[in-house]
Amino acid sequence: MTSLPSAVAARVVLDRDVAASYAVDASMRSTAPESFTVVRARDLSDVVAVLEHASATGTPVVPQGARTSLAGGATASEGAIVLNVEGIDGIRDIDVVEGHAVVGPGVVTADLKQEAARAGLFYPPDPASSATCTVGGNVATNAGGLCSIKYGVTADYVKALQVVLPGGEVMRTGHRTAKGVAGYDLTGLVVGSEGTLGVVTEVMVRLLPAPDPSLTALATFDSLDAAVAGIVALRRDPHRPSLLEILDRATVAALQDLADFGFPRDCEAVLLVQSDRPGHADEDVARFAGLLTAAGASEVAAADDEQEAEALMAGRRALYPAFERKGPRLAEDICVPVGRLADFIRAGQEVSSRTGVEILLSGHGGDGNLHPSFFFTAGDPDSLHRAEAAFGELVGIGLSLGGTITGEHGVGTLKAPWLERELGAAEVRRQRRVKALFDPQGIMNPGKVFGP
């Protein structure tokens, strides 16, 4: 690679160990290539300079936030410039009247939520990685999270974007006004494009009035069908829960192995449900508890106050420590129609008992979006191979149930082999042509989404 322009030379990470930490993300099997350069951009002009240089030299560029991608979207590719934008992290123009804020792509999601709350407003997107991931990464992956059942996903909160395209041109999309329909929705195109079209350098986000603190109900079930009937009943309620999570039998056992969260080990499923409706959270949670009892829950507990609500959520919050305790895993992100959720979980349990691969099935049950975990033994290629085969089998089952290969983590590199199976060859060709319009040289995050 020819040397970078002097304006950004000072932003290059020279220490190879530090640089190596920018070459991988949080996905399984993420490994650093032989040669790559890391640039930590501080402002728009740094990004423009890198993309001008990249186009002039035909160098691949990997846009990067906090590297929490579970799909391999932010890993360095051979010879690439890894363009990290965590340093572009200003929050400005929180406008209570218009209900928006303008933020840099490097703003940590939890910080934006906190700043919005200080202004009496609410930024809903809440991936479980909120404390570390960035708004730019959330935009690029169209991240969801725990409250998607009521509030939707990141796309629902992006009003306008500034994006630097290959060659260095700065594109502005969207509208600063409350409404605006002039022209094609290029904001919607960039959201979820996983760094394959350009680099997001500014985001105008929509903010809502603040909700009430959440109250929680927890229900245990002796039957998977009853638990899914409970989810269906809650989705039919005129007031959507703000969270609706499911844990299957194996997940409950893993949590109880970590600490006593009060879950009966022999139950088939646990549901956690919340309401944050201003002035009505307590009546919602009491009604939700009644619906879950009517659906066949064996036990239901409803919180009366915030402390109790948090205590009921303790098991859900311990999920990642419980996973870590079990060892390395492949993490899935399948979304199926809610009505097929019991079929999907049963199929996962059948794959687990047939193959001997330990599979834990939990996630955003209210959206039909589960994150099955496939555990394997470190250093045992056969164990990894069996986990990969089980992973692939469950992707196929999800598709056959009318689902999608990724509900929120993105395609990245891990799901690229299945993209055509979900979309079809003609649709993939059309999407490649859209990419080529923005990125004719194919230098933006090559290998991601569409594969090699």
Ligand X SMILES: Cc1cc2nc3c(=O)[nH]c(=O)nc-3n(C[C@H](O)[C@H](O)[C@H](O)COP(=O)(O)OP(=O)(O)OC[C@H]3O[C@@H](n4cnc5c(N)ncnc54)[C@H](O)[C@@H]3O)c2cc1C
Tell me which residues touch ligand X (CB under 6 A): 25-26, 62-70, 73-74, 85, 105, 127-129, 133-134, 136-138, 140-141, 143-145, 194-195, 199-200, 320, 408-410, 445, 448
Q: What is the dihedral sign for C-alpha 184, 189, 191, 196?
A: negative
- Taking the least distance from each CB to ligand X, the nearer of 194 and 276 is 194
Residue 410 DSSP class: -
- Taking the least distance from each CB to ligand X, the nearer of 134 and 220 is 134
Q: What are the DSSP E strand ranges found in 123-211?
A: 158-164, 170-174, 199-206, 208-209
Query: Least CB distance from residue 219 to ligand X, whole Å?
Result: 22
Query: Least CB distance from residue 223 to ligand X, whole Å?
Result: 27
- Taking the least distance from each CB to ligand X, the nearer of 117 and 131 is 131
Instruction: Report the Cα 90 to chain-centroid distance in Å.
Output: 22
- 385 exposure class (CB count in 10 Å sphere: 0-12, 13-18, 19+): exposed
Query: Least CB distance from residue 227 to ligand X, whole Å?
Result: 21
Burial code (b: 16+ CB inside 10 Å, e: under 16) for 171-204 equals eebbeeeeeeeeeeebbeebbbbbbbbbbbbbbb
- Taking the least distance from each CB to ligand X, the nearer of 249 and 316 is 316
- Taking the least distance from each CB to ligand X, the nearer of 292 and 411 is 411
Torsion angles phi and psi, residue 163, rounded to 5: -135, 130
Q: Where are the alpha helices (DSSP H) in 379-444?
A: 381-400, 416-423, 425-438
- Taking the least distance from each CB to ligand X, the nearer of 275 and 406 is 406
Query: Least CB distance from residue 312 to ligand X, whole Å?
Result: 19
- Taking the least distance from each CB to ligand X, the nearer of 348 and 407 is 407
Query: Least CB distance from residue 198 to ligand X, whole Å?
Result: 7
CA distance 271 to 225: 12
Query: Least CB distance from residue 204 to ligand X, whole Å?
Result: 14
Query: Least CB distance from residue 125 to ligand X, whole Å?
Result: 8
- Taking the least distance from each CB to ligand X, the nearer of 68 and 352 is 68
- Partners of 203 in the beta sheet? 103, 161
Query: Least CB distance from residue 369 to ligand X, whole Å?
Result: 9
Using Cβ positions, the residue closest to ligand X within the complex turns out to be: 137
Any idea which residue has 């990141």 for tokens? 154
Cα–Cα distance list, 51 to 16, 140, 432 (Å): 23, 17, 20
Burial code (b: 16+ CB inside 10 Å, e: under 16) for 60-79 equals bbbbbbbbbbbbbbbbbbee
